Amino acid sequence: MSYETVISPEALATGLEAAREGSADWLVLDARFTLDDEDWGRRVHRESHIPGALFADLATDLSGPIIAGVTGRRPLPALAVWAATLSRWGVRPETQIVTYDSSGGMMAAARLWWMLRWAGHDRVAVLDGGWPAWIAEGRPADTSVATRTPVPFQGHERAAFVADVGLVDEIRLNPTWALFDSRSEEGFHGLGVYQDPVRGHIPGARLANRADTLDGAGRFRSPAELRAHYAALFGDVPVERVVFYCGSGVTAAQNLLALAHAGLGDARHYVGSWSEWITDPSRPVAL
């Protein structure tokens, strides 16, 4: 069985047992991260993680160099650089990857899920409920340093997954497209704690709070609930003409994952997001 959106702790435990027996190739990637302390994820990984997990650092592995005045806070790495990272992690076409964080996928397991699919690897799922759910069920954790044999990564870029700033500016007021801001209502209107020097949202964007994809326990809502959620948001706009963004291009991936989990297909990701949009003062801003 291949898992391509969300996986339960129970199913992950079963998969890891099959991997230990040598009947399957499973790779767990720990993507825990916090904006307040960028070394926190690496520290807690050293202290305890799902057995066999490698650490995937949002700041280094999952992001490219920041170019002042040009990029957002979490630009994508060049595809060749990302492929080299996947090669180092020993990702084969048959490798089942599971990513997790401490926030139900939002920071930054869903970003990692999306980046793997962008590079052509579909056998990847986010652990439902993340690290808290794994621990709450009394499942094993350890401190061992896992290793994998590097292999040439075999993938292909899915350019249609990405929306650049030019496309966003072109479609943001076009009623046959839909642009959604994945932040909270507070952040959308320029309130609360901000990581960027300019507050507000892209004019023409509507709100699709990425937290609305989860239930009260931090698990993904059912596919049926998510289909109804997105139908209300999209109206008559087809999913291939939908674009999501957020503050830095990380948490918007939660909406993209939820769409796929609902069986609705793939929208586009404006990875540059708000932090890139505001690098050009001539671009309009709305509150």
Q: Which residues are catalytic?
A: 246
Q: Could you write out the DSSP letters of every residue in 39-64?
A: THHHHHHHH-BSTTPEE--TTTTS--
Per-residue tokens: 31: 């993507």
Cis preceding linkage at 59, omega within 30 = no
The Cα-based distances of 24 to 74, 91, 112, 282 in angstroms read 33, 13, 21, 53
DSSP at 24: S
The Cα–Cα gap between 227 and 260 comes to 10
For residue 145, the one-letter residue type is: V
**Closest C-alpha to 99, from 56, 151, 138:** 56
Residue 215 vs residues 4, 144, 210, 211: alpha-carbon distances, Å? 20, 33, 11, 8
